[in-house]
Amino acid sequence: MDLEQIEKTHSAEQPEATFAPSLATTSKKVFVKTYGCQMNVYDSQRMTDALAADGYAGTESIEDADLVLLNTCHIREKAAEKVYSELGRMRGLKAERAARGQEMVIGVAGCVAQAEGREILRREKAVDLVIGPQTYHRLPDALRRARGGEKVVETEYAIEDKFEHLPKPRRAEIIGRGVTAFLTVQEGCDKFCTFCVVPYTRGSEVSRPVAQIVAEAEKLADAGVRELTLLGQNVNAWHGEGPDGGEWGLGRLLYRLAEIPGIARLRYTTSHPRDMDDELIEAHRDLPALMPYLHLPVQAGSDRILKAMNRRHKAADYVRLIERIRAARPDMAMSGDFIVGFPGESDADFEATMQIVRDVGYAQAYSFKYSPRPGTPGADMKDHVAEAVKDERLQRLQALLNEQMRDFNAGMAGRTMDLLIEKPGRDQGQRVGRSPWLQPVIVDETAGEIGDIINVRITRAGHSLFAEPV
């Protein structure tokens, strides 16, 4: 992850997170480190669930770990390279544990595992196990083989549905994870944007059936989850088999999920502009539970570059689409992703990106310098943009986006809104809630319990937002 380029809570790249499940009665320990997007966060939890069934408890201390799993991201070069420096550090820890007669199995999962496979074993001898995202249900078996001394590589796309075979999350575990949850409904991508590795690392689009999704959502709700975020690399391309045997789209699924008792808020990410259909836009009009915040990346504002990126729409289509969405839900806040310095991007092309940002107005945005990825068509294109030019463009774009984000937050002063109380605050006596627009808001702990949704007025909108119940 390019820490210098992106802020926290990126739609597609989260800050690194360690994750520890709560079952403490077991003897072996696993340390999981997650890079990349929310889908990896979800996968890390499901892998930990699978390992818990196998007798592994989570630990936050890598020195104590019998098993270390890096769940990796391949989206930009720096994200991928970071894995190797981390593995180098772990080689030393593994040797120290071995000297004490202790085991440390090192596994690499996620998109780097899928993209580089056996190459990882060649570059870093300390690695025992490489497992791609489509094969996580084979993790317990792969681990047994690795512990027996075999170097294991599992990157063949499995024919079985991994969701069908992974152990379902258990109530006790979910409870420890808070009042918001991710639920992957769709995986993979058939879009083949020319800059992107995802279609190669995650394979082609697969949608989970409605019944499976509803069952998981009900279980989460039963364990106290109030806000569900549906995940997919291309989540609005989801089209699953309904209980009636017919094919449903994401809009219809959202209507169904909104009926589940306890689920008060719904979100979905990440969407492609081409897949925003009428039913989905109507869901934004009709469902109060569907939050007025949408991450809808456009990447660039120049039609020439959009075409070269294979985004399959024009800049004006995107602006019109957002007008329709805002007509359906007037308080809709937009979030987006941008790439600067795609091959062939001229000054005029870049100015078109600046213009589309001014035309749309973003509440949140993530912007990146183009990073050529091996095996993608973009990497072989002519006219790569000089690094210094990319730097300069990124700075100008981020200055504009930061100004819009600041204005959006400052505009909250005095407004009333619902807040989902999520967790204790950093300071004594405080709690942190989420606004409908995904902003953290600080309230006094007397305002309500974790999991409550309360109506508040924003009293201070500076670097952080503060509120009082009304």
> Which residues are at the interface with ligand SAH (CB under 6 A)?
12, 75-76, 195-196, 198, 233-234, 270, 272, 297, 299, 337, 339, 368, 370-371, 373
Both tokens of 362, joined, read 């973003």
CB of 411 to ligand F3S, least distance (A): 30
Task: Say if residues 421 and 452 touch (Cβ distance below 8 Å).
Answer: yes
- And the tokens for 164? 């069908």
Residue nearest ligand F3S (C-beta atom): 36
Give me the least distance between CB of 114 and ligand F3S, in Å please. Answer: 8
Binding-site partner at residue 201 among ligand F3S, ligand SF4, ligand SAH, none, CB < 5 to 8 Å by type: ligand F3S
As measured in angstroms, the least distance from the Cβ of 32 to ligand F3S is 14
Instruction: Compute the least distance from the CB of residue 39 to ligand F3S, in Å.
Output: 5
Q: Where are the alpha helices (DSSP H) in 329-421?
A: 347-360, 387-410
CA angle 364, 229, 259 (to 5 degrees): 130
Indicate the residue among 364 and 435 with the shorter CB distance to ligand SAH. Answer: 364
Token pair of 463 as six digits: 């670097």
Separation in Å, CA 350 to CA 174, 299, 384: 45, 11, 14
SS (H, E, C) 186-235: EECCCCCCCCCCHHHHCCCCEECCHHHHHHHHHHHHHCCCCEEEEECCCH
Which listed option, ligand SF4, ligand F3S, ligand SAH, none, makes contact with residue 199 (CB within 5 to 8 Å by class)?
Answer: ligand SF4
The listed partner (ligand SF4, ligand SAH, ligand F3S, none) that binds 1, CB under 5 to 8 Å by sort, is none
Nearer to ligand SAH, 187 or 216 (CB): 187
Rounded to the nearest whole angstrom, what is the least distance from the CB of residue 334 to ligand SAH in the complex?
13
Q: Is 463 helix (H, G, I), strand (E, B) or coil?
A: coil
8 A C-beta contact, residue 64 and residue 20: no
Which amino acid is it at 76? R
Choose from ligand SAH, ligand SF4, ligand F3S, none: what does 39 bind? Cβ within 5-8 Å by kind.
ligand F3S
Choice between 234 and 404, CB closer to ligand SAH: 234
| Alpha-carbon separation of residue 232 from 214, 229, 414 (angstroms) | 16, 10, 35
Q: Which of 14, 23, 33, 40 binds ligand F3S (CB under 6 A)?
A: 40
- Tell me, by CB under 6 A, how many residues bind ligand F3S: 16
Binding mask 81-120 for ligand F3S (x = CB under 6 A): -----------------------------xx---------
* Partner in contact with 337, chosen from ligand SAH, ligand SF4, ligand F3S, none, beta carbon below 5 to 8 Å by kind: ligand SAH
371 binds, among ligand SAH, ligand F3S, ligand SF4, none (CB under 5 to 8 A by kind): ligand SAH
From the list ligand SF4, ligand F3S, ligand SAH, none, pick the one residue 339 interacts with, judged by a Cβ distance below 5 to 8 Å according to partner type.
ligand SAH
Q: Which one of ligand SF4, ligand SAH, ligand F3S, none interacts with residue 363, CB within 5 to 8 A by kind?
A: none
Give the 3-state secondary structure of residue 259. coil
Nearest Cα neighbor of 377 from 425, 316, 326, 307 is: 307
- The candidate with the shortest Cα–Cα distance to 376, out of 157, 136, 139, 201, is 201
Q: Shortest Cβ distance from residue 24 to ligand SAH (Å)?
A: 36
The two three-digit tokens of residue 172, written as one number = 């006790």
Alpha carbons 224 and 222: distance in angstroms, whole number? 5
